[in-house]
Amino acid sequence: MPAGTLEVIIVEGRRLKDKDTVGQSDPYVEIYIEKGYKQRTTTLSNTNDPVWNERFVFNVHPKDDTIHFAIYDSDVADKDEIGTGKVKLKNVFDDGKFDDWVKLPAHLGLSNHGELHVIMNFTPS
């Protein structure tokens, strides 16, 4: 895989699974290629259809092949996972860009916990 810079824009989420018993979720997204270095969006209050439009930059190394997205519901005591998704970086490298909805599959992938609109632009170094 090529090395370079990956710009990631977390645009919005839709139909996120509601984890709260009262009200709607307070979602945020953690983005990472390597678990040791995570970036995250701001937390939005009381919505299952959040709009972030937040931009992140990652340095991509030759061994990197997947980017991960984990969506959580922020609670006072802890966080509840709403869902996770991932994209093979090959999908970004081939065209230099990616603009699509990433599904957050439920257990066994039979249904999903919502979708995340992600735009990515890759610049080789």
Q: Domains in the chain, please, with CATH?
A: 4-124 (2.60.40.150)
Most confident range (mean pLDDT) of 12-16, 73-77, 92-96 is 12-16
Where does the pLDDT of residue 18 fall: very low under 50, low under 70, confident under 90, or very high at 90 and above?
A: confident
Q: What is the pLDDT of residues 30-54, one digit of tens each?
A: 999 998 899 999 999 999 999 999 9
User: Coil, strand, or helix at residue 82?
Assistant: strand
Closest of 23, 39, 32 to residue 75, by C-alpha: 23
For residues 51 and 54, what is the distance between their CA atoms, to the nearest angstrom? 9
Residue 110 confidence (pLDDT) above 80 = no
Q: Which residue has the tokens 């930059």?
A: 57
**Residue 73 buriedness (CB in 10 A; 0-12 / 13-18 / 19+):** buried
Give the pLDDT mean for 9-14.
98
Give the burial string for 11-42 (b: 16+ CB within 10 Å, else e).
ebbeebbebeeeebbbbbbbbbbeeeeeeebe
